A and B are shown apart, each in its own frame.
Chain A
Amino acid sequence: MSVTVRIPTQLRELSGGAAEVALVSGSLADVLAALDAAHPGFQGRLFGDDSELRRFVNVFVADEDIRFLDGLATEVADGTTVSIVPAVAGG
């Protein structure tokens, strides 16, 4: 079993065009570190110089915004999907 990370179009050049990447479970920080290890470049694009997620990067674990969960410490269990989505507006 593993977790699935959905890659937005803007970052698919880093994943060789793949829309989804399978990784081992763990905390969200672990999963994103594994993503960068598998496909170097994600770290610099998702995180700012302060090592925090950039403010226009939204991450969802099982469809819930991680700011309503435990942020980067959120546990990502086997079979769960993580979505990386740019902030969008509307109304």
Chain B
Amino acid sequence: MTHVQALRCRECGREYDVAPIFTCEWCFGPLEVAYDYDAIRASISREKIAAGPLSIWRYSDLLPVDRNPAVDLGAGFTPLVRADRLAAELGLGEVWIKNDTTNPTNSFKDRVTAVALSKALEFGFKVAACASTGNLANAVAAHAAHAGLRSFVFVPANLEQGKIVTTAVYGGNVVAIDGNYDDVNRLCAELSGTYPWAFVNVNIRTFYAEGSKTLAYETAEQLGWEAPDHVVVPVASGSLLTKIRKGFDELYKVGLLDDEPHVRVSGAQALGCSPVAAAWLGESDTIKPVKPATIAKSLAIGNPADGYFALDAVRNSTGGFAAVTDDEIVDAIRLLARTEGIFAETAGGVTVATLAKLAAQGVIRKDERVVVYITGHGLKTLDAVVGQVGPTTTISPTIDAFHAAFDPEDLLA
């Protein structure tokens, strides 16, 4: 049972009936789902959620889908891991990793895709499509296969081989575009006006984006129904950061949090594609699009549609922003793996490097409970660390050779 009232323009407030539309016809502002929070408050409880499935669908009262779960590969309810070793290295106190690498296709995009395609089935679409920097491509191809939908996935041709293979294996159409993500996105925006397809991040985006809120819901539930003090979130389009903030606020609004949350929200970008961080660091209100050049391809959106909202969320919550270099990204991937046993893709490297930078600057403080969102698995971007790590020793298969390489006294110490 959905509690959706309407779709509302974030810019000018005009309202629309529920439909596969994504922009305000008047001002082109993005539409957002408007809920009847009083009805949700009357329906939802911590006990009801605890009795629900171990997936995003335990929060279905707060999602814009009528039939739950229409399309389900088990996205969500990923581990929240206490990261004491990482915290100690960075001089921080209480740090947690929201490890979203364990989703069905190993990134947070399974959350948004499950919601988007469930809604697409309600609308009667037969074809699923998306513009993607890779992770969404995986998620849409897999969920479309599971739902029996045809799929068209559009990606930049220079995407990591791993992300192409892990999309193509599901058997849908994979269209490689000679251009960057922003080119792919523009083509999809134009195609969506021509073909009656469910472009999850174009005409279904209003619903799709709501799936990201579950990252906030889970975090709070896993912390014993408390909000953290500070979150660090990677920024590509800016939607994830914006929705995580919205998620915490909603939990209070519907009575699931006792205290009003004051979560400081910090954004992470790669220096090679940092239009939102640049606006923050330059104290500008204008986000200037850029041509991406970074190994963090899943964050390589040079023209971020929700960038303004992400910037507002960081400003209003007194968070921070950092832009980190490719070397810092690789170092941070290795730092997280070495200290916590979690292998993140390049976007996770951006996020951990930002955590380190903001900790060093004193923006993230030792007395804060910090949650870091690791949104994709390292196996997706092996290229980033190939050549950096490998066998630490290569020997013949003999005890003598082993002892020649390692001092037995050290080994027994």
Contact = CB atoms under 8 A, between A and B. Distances in A.
Interface of A: 6, 8-11, 19, 45, 48, 54-58, 60, 63, 65, 67-68, 83, 85-91
A89 B308 contact: no
A89 B304 contact: yes
A57 B190 contact: no
Contacts of A83: 186, 190
Interface stretch (B71-79, B127-135, B331-339): B127-135
Listed from nearest, the 10 A-B pairs whose CB atoms lie closest are A89-B237, A89-B305, A90-B201, A87-B305, A9-B193, A56-B28, A86-B23, A91-B236, A86-B28, A10-B25
B312 interface: no
A9 B192 CA distance: 9
Nearest to A7: B193
Given A88-B188, A91-B201, 7 more contacts: A8-B193, A48-B27, A58-B186, A63-B186, A65-B303, A90-B237, A91-B109
A54 B28 contact: yes
Nearest to A10: B25
A85 B190 contact: yes
Contacts of A63: 183, 186
B238 interface: yes
B77 to A, nearest CB: 21
A84 B28 CA distance: 11
B239 interface: yes
A85 B291 CA distance: 18
B185 interface: yes
B69 interface: no
Contacts of B133: 90-91
A88 B305 contact: yes
Given A65-B303, A88-B185, A89-B301, A6 B190 contact: yes
B182 interface: yes
B239 A89 contact: yes
A33 B28 CA distance: 19
Nearest to A53: B28
B136 A91 contact: yes
Interface in B227-249: 236-240
B11 A91 contact: no
Contacts of A10: 23, 25, 28
Contact of B22 (A6, A19, A88): A88
B93 interface: no
Nearest to B240: A91
Contact of B298 (A8, A86, A89, A91): A91
A57 B305 CA distance: 10
A57 B28 CA distance: 6
Nearest to A67: B289
Contacts of A85: 186, 189-190
B11 A86 contact: no
B201 A88 contact: yes
Contacts of B46: none
Interface in B18-37: 22-23, 25-30
Interface string B177-220: 00001110110111011000000011001000100000000000
B301 to A, nearest CB: 7
A11 B183 CA distance: 21
A68 B182 CA distance: 13
A60 B183 CA distance: 10
B186 A55 contact: no
Count chain A CB atoms within 10 A of each CB in B25, B28, B181, B291 and give the residue with the most: B28
A86 B30 CA distance: 9
A68 B23 contact: no
B378 to A, nearest CB: 18
Contacts of B132: 90-91
15 contacts: A8-B190, A8-B193, A45-B28, A56-B11, A56-B30, A58-B303, A86-B28, A87-B30, A88-B305, A89-B239, A90-B133, A91-B109, A91-B136, A91-B236, A91-B298
Interface string B68-109: 000000000000000000000000000000000000000001
Nearest to A84: B28
A11 B289 CA distance: 24
B146 interface: no
A79 B216 CA distance: 50
A55 B308 contact: yes
Contacts of B25: 10-11
A21 to B, nearest CB: 15
Given A19-B193, A88-B189, A56 B27 contact: yes
Contacts of B66: none
Contacts of B308: 55
